[in-house]
Amino acid sequence: MKPLAERLRPTDLKSYIGQTHLVGEGCILRNMIEAKRVSSFILWGPPGVGKTTLAHIIANELEVPFYTLSAVTAGVKDVRDIIDDASKNALWTHQSPILFIDEIHRFSKSQQDSLLSAVETGKITLIGATTENPSFEIIRPLLSRCQIYVLNYFSDQELLQLLYRALTHDEMLQDRVVKIEETDDLLRYSGGDARKLLNIVDLLASSAMDTIVINDEVVSKRLQQNPLAYDKDGEMHYDIISAFIKSMRGSNPDAAVYWMARMIEGGESPEFIARRMVICAAEDVGLANPNALLIANAAFDTVHKIGWPEARIPLAEAAIYIANSPKSNSAYCAIDAAIAEVKRSGNLAVPLHLRNAPTRMMKDLGYGKGYRYPHDFPNNFVTQDYLPEALKDTQFWQHQQNRQEEQQYERWKYLWEKE
């Protein structure tokens, strides 16, 4: 018996739920379908949001040959065979045959290269589906030939709409007595994934002898736990670590520990979390509170010594400390400005008085001549030039408004007699 998600798969736009920003009235994909002219594109979105279904609907609406490949099992030969066959069928239709490739991000570079000519010449209309960021996983030449359309998680309202459609349109559920008391846990466990919601309903239906009861207690009891959506190599991984870093940068300790908890429960390694905090301490806290880098490094060392589950404590301590620290990216900006100058001006000569002079010949050539040793002067400081002549008086470091840097700036200004 087919699962409910497969039995309920829509075949036309009228019964398609969600993604109204793409298929709603006047929106881009609907307009292309109604005009019977669809160009190649890639559907990017999380699992269970209707990517495969939408591809099938487009082929049905356009009434064109539809070929499908899974990037997991197909090779270059499979792609070429389909393109050859599609080229023959293309002679009898105004719209090119559609080649749908599921999980296209799993195609190697050579496999993606094999698609370029056929897409360019219009032998096929390519529809790719991916859960990964196309800019990371799809080769640039193929990206330039395809539009990217983003599919979103289903809203709670859309999931409920899908639930009622299942109960009223599925032949096997129509004759069952269904009692809906609560839907909070059903929606929470579904997590915006339509396939997951229908699978849960399928499970509840198969485990009920007579009346199908949907409430929080029944759902939780049947599912036992909520498997978290966290793929350590996928898009969710990057989204959550981005939220974690931005929460610390934004001085929100509560959000920082929440996103850290998501990573911990998702099976992330403590070393990865610690590394990101070391970077954040240097980049975002910086000179405003140099101790943050020490705390982050201490947490990094500690997780190597103790591992899970105790490592969560020093990691949380460091995250909260970084979030609550004053922020400055002046060091980050200074080194980037210096690197930009190096790229612009090239290999400017080191002033002679700063050069190393390990041999007699170098000393005779003036290497190191005139260098003034700061420790021989009051306050261990003496004025002299340290930059190449062409960059004399260039200032890469711009202090920011925090106590630590204000003190450093005042000392710098005093020593160099700046106004």
**pLDDT tens digit string along 100-152?**
998 888 888 888 888 888 888 888 899 999 888 888 788 888 988 899 999 99
Residue 130 lies in a domain: yes
Residue 298 has pLDDT above 60, yes or no: yes
Residue type, 104: I
Total structural domains within the chain: 4
Residue 364 lies in a domain: yes
Average pLDDT, the chain: 85
pLDDT of residue 234: 52
pLDDT of residue 55: 92
Largest CA distance in the chain: 101
- Boundary (domain end) residue, out of 124, 150, 176: 150
pLDDT of residue 419: 41
**Distance between CA 29 and CA 349 in Å, rounded?**
59
Q: Do residues 174 and 205 share a domain?
A: yes
Residue 13 lies in a domain: no
Q: Do residues 141 and 23 share a domain?
A: yes
Q: Do residues 72 and 92 share a domain?
A: yes
Q: Among 18, 13, 11, which Cα is nearest to 197's?
A: 18
Q: Do residues 271 and 351 share a domain?
A: no
pLDDT of residue 293: 94
pLDDT of residue 170: 86
Q: Among 50, 233, 111, 136, which Cα is nearest to 126's?
A: 111
Query: How does residue 202 score in pLDDT terms, banded at 50, 70 and 90?
Result: confident
The share of the chain scoring above pLDDT 70, in percent, equals 94
From residue 362, alpha-carbon distances to 135, 205, 352, 355, 358 in Å are 52, 88, 10, 9, 7
Q: Do residues 31 and 84 share a domain?
A: yes
Q: Do residues 167 and 145 share a domain?
A: no
Q: What is the pTM of this model?
A: 0.60
pLDDT of residue 296: 94
| pLDDT tens readout for residues 231-269 | 555 556 678 888 899 999 988 888 899 999 988 887 788
Query: How does residue 316 score in pLDDT terms, banded at 50, 70 and 90?
Result: very high
